[in-house]
Amino acid sequence: MDLKHIRNFSIIAHIDHGKSTLADRMLEITHTIPERKMREQVLDSMELERERGITIKMQPVRMIYHPRGLTQTYTQTNADSLRAQTNADYMQTNADKNADFLYEDITYKIRGATFAVKKVLGLGHKEIVYHKALEVEFKKIGLSFESEKIIDVKYGEKKVGTYVPDFIIEGKVLIELKALPEIGKPQEQQVWSYLKGCEYHLAFLVNFGSKDVTFKRIIYDSARNGSALVSVQSAQSQRDSEEYILNLIDTPGHIDFSYEVSRALKAVEGSILLIDSTQGVQAQTLTTLNMAREGGLKIIPVLSKIDSPLARVEEVKKEVIELLNCDSSEILLVSGRTGEGVENLLQEIVKRVPPPIESYKGDNILRAMVFDFKYSNHKGVIVFIRLLDGKVKKGDNLIFSVSGEKFISLEVGTFSPEETPREYLGAGDTGYIVTGIKRPGIASVGDTITKEKNPLPALSGYMQPMPVVWASVFPENADDFLELKMSLGKLKLSDSSFSYEEESSGSLGRGFRCGFLGMLHLEIITERLKREFNLKLVITTPSITYEVLMKNPSTHSGQVGKKIKIFSPYFFPDDGNIETVFEPWVKLKIITPIKYLGNIMQLLFDHEAEIGETENFGNLPNGQTGNRAIVQAKMPLRELMRNFFDELKSVSSGYGSISYEIDDMRIANVTRLDVIVADEVVPAFSRVVSKRRAEEEAEEIVEKLHNILPRQMFITKIQGKALGRIISSRTIQAFRKDVTQHMYGGDVTRKNKLRDKQKKGKKKMKERGKVNIPQDVFLRVMRSGK
Q: What is the CATH number of the domain that holds 662?
A: 3.30.70.240
How many Cα atoms are found within 13 Å in the side-chain-facing hemisphere of 593? Answer: 11
Same domain, 334 and 374: no
User: Which is higher by pLDDT, 762 or 10?
Assistant: 10
Q: What is the pLDDT of residue 97?
A: 33
Cα–Cα distance between 188 and 180 in angstroms, integer?
A: 13
Q: Which residues pair with 90 in a beta bridge?
A: 85
What is the rounded (10 degree) CA torsion for 120, 122, 125, 130?
50
Residue 414 forms part of a structural domain: yes
Q: Does one domain contain both 642 and 683?
A: no
Same domain for 216 and 247, yes or no, is: no
Whether 78 is covered by a domain: the verdict is no
Taking the C-alpha atoms of residue 585 and residue 735, their distance in angstroms, rounded to an integer, is: 47
pLDDT score of 90 = 31
- Alpha-carbon distances, residue 309 vs 88, 176, 328, 728 (angstroms): 26, 28, 22, 52
Does residue 208 lie in a domain region? yes
777 and 681 share one domain: yes
- Would you state the pLDDT for residue 667? 92
Are the C-beta atoms of 252 and 281 separated by less than 8 Å? Answer: no
pLDDT digits (tens, 9 = 90+) for 58-89: 688 899 888 743 333 333 232 232 333 333 33
Check pLDDT > 70 for residue 546: yes
Q: For 239-274, how does the pLDDT look when each residue is reduced to its tens digit (9 = 90+)?
A: 444 789 999 988 776 666 666 777 778 888 999 999
The radius of gyration of the chain from alpha carbons, rounded to an integer in Å, stands at: 33
Distance, in Å, from the CA atom of 366 to the CA atom of 400, rounded to the nearest integer, reads 12
Residues 90 and 226 in one domain: yes
pLDDT digits (tens, 9 = 90+) for 690-715: 998 899 989 988 998 888 888 776 77
pLDDT grade, residue 783 (50/70/90)? Answer: low
Work out the angle at residue 521's Cα, subtended by the Cα atoms of residues 518 and 524, and round it to the nearest 5 degrees. Answer: 155
For residue 437, what is the DSSP state? -
**What is the predicted pLDDT for the residue at 255?**
67
Pairwise CA distance, residues 465 & 274, whole Å:
25
435 with 375, same domain: the answer is yes
Q: Tell whether 211 and 260 lie within a shared domain.
A: no
The residue type found at 452 is: E
d(Cα 442, Cα 144) in Å, to the nearest integer? 63
Determine, yes or no, domain membership for 427.
yes
672 vs 684: CA distance, rounded Å: 13
- CATH code for the domain in which residue 38 is found: 3.40.50.300
Contact 626, 618 (CB under 8 A): yes
Q: For position 569, what pLDDT does the model report?
A: 83
CATH number at residue 687: 3.30.70.2570
Q: What is the mean pLDDT of residues 35-52?
A: 59
What DSSP line would sit under 343-393, residue for residue?
Answer: HHHHHHHHHHSPPP--S---SS-EEEEEEEEEEETTTEEEEEEEEEEEEEE
Average of per-residue pLDDT across 77-102: 34
> How many domains are contained in the chain?
6
Look at residues 232, 252, 270 and tell me which one is the last residue of a structural domain.
232
Which pLDDT does position 398 carry in this prediction? 93
Buried b (16+ CB within 10 A) or exposed e, 681-697: ebbbbbbbbbeebbbeb
| 263, 302: one domain | yes
3-class DSSP state of 641: coil
CA distance 82 to 88: 16
3-state SS string over 689-758? EEHHHHHHHHHHHHHHHHHHCCCCCCCEEEEEEECCEEEEEEEECCCCCCCCCCCCCCCHHHHHHHHHHH
Residues 653 and 706 both lie in one domain: no
- pLDDT interval class at 767 (50, 70, 90): low
If residue 264 lies in a helix (H) or strand (E), which one and from where to where?
Answer: helix 258-266
We report the CATH number of the domain holding residue 168 as 3.40.1350
CA distances from 604 to 598, 635, 680 (A): 10, 8, 36
Lowest mean pLDDT segment, chosen from 97-106, 198-207, 282-291, 564-573: 97-106
Q: State the pairing for strand pair 244-250/6-13.
A: parallel
DSSP symbols for 470-510: EEEEEESSGGGHHHHHHHHHHHHTT-TT-EEEEEEETTTEE
- Note if the pTM is more than 0.75: no
| 586-622 b/e (C-beta count within 10 Å ≥ 16 → b) | bebbbbbbeebbebbbebbeebbbeeeebeebbbeee
Look at residue 561 and tell me if it is in a domain.
no
Confidence of residue 2 (pLDDT cuts 50, 70, 90): confident
CATH number at residue 401: 2.40.30.10
The torsion of the CA quartet 89, 93, 96, 99, rounded to 10 degrees, works out to -60
Q: Contact, 617 vs 630, CB < 8 A?
A: yes
What residues pair up with 716 in beta bridges, in sequence order?
A: 732
Q: Which residues of 170-193 are buried (b: 16+ CB within 10 A; e: fewer)?
A: eeebbbbbbbeeebeeebbeebbe
Residues 382 and 494: their CA atoms lie apart, in Å, by 10
400 falls within a domain: yes
Domain span at residue 426 reads: 366-451
The whole-angstrom separation of Cα 164 and Cα 151 is 6
Same domain, 683 and 661: no
- What pLDDT is stored for residue 266 in this prediction? 82
The DSSP H or E segment spanning 681 is strand 680-681
Q: What pLDDT shows up at residue 565? A: 86
Give the separation between CA 721 and CA 700, rounded to whole angstroms: 13
Q: Is the pLDDT of residue 668 over 70?
A: yes
Domain boundary among 668, 692, 722: 668
Mean pLDDT of 754-771: 68
Does 769 lie in the same domain as 687? yes
| 470 φ/ψ angles, rounded to the nearest 5 degrees | -120, 145
Q: Are 60 and 11 in contact (CB under 8 A)?
A: no
What is the full DSSP assignment across 155-186? ETTEEEEEE--SEEETTTEEEEEE-SS---HH
Taking residues 360-380, what's their average pLDDT?
Answer: 84
Phi then psi for 688, rounded to 5 degrees?
Answer: -100, 125
* Rounded Cα distance, 691 and 685, in Å: 17
pLDDT surpasses 50 at 652: yes
CA 591 to CA 609: how far, in whole Å? 16
Examine the pLDDT at 678 and tell me if it is beyond 90: no
- The helix or strand, by DSSP H or E, that contains position 285, with its residue range, turns out to be helix 283-294
In whole angstroms, give the CA distance from residue 437 to residue 553. Answer: 44
Q: Among the listed ranges 69-78, 174-183, 584-593, 618-627, which one has the minimum average pLDDT value?
A: 69-78
Residue 759 has pLDDT above 60, yes or no: yes
Does 564 map to a domain? no
CA 292, 293, 299, 304 dihedral sign is positive
> What is residue 135's predicted lDDT score, i.e. its pLDDT?
92
Tell me which of 580 and 108 has the higher pLDDT.
Answer: 580
474 and 587 together in one domain: no
Question: pLDDT tens digits for 564-594?
Answer: 888 888 788 888 888 899 999 999 888 888 8
Within-domain flag for 545: no
> What average pLDDT is seen over the chain?
79
The per-residue pLDDT for 57 is 65
pLDDT, residue 778, reads: 67
Tens digit of each residue's pLDDT (9 = 90 or more) over 427-480: 999 999 999 888 777 777 778 999 988 888 877 766 667 788 888 888 888 888
CA 653 to chain centre: 22
Measure the CA–CA gap between 293 and 25, rounded to whole angstroms: 26
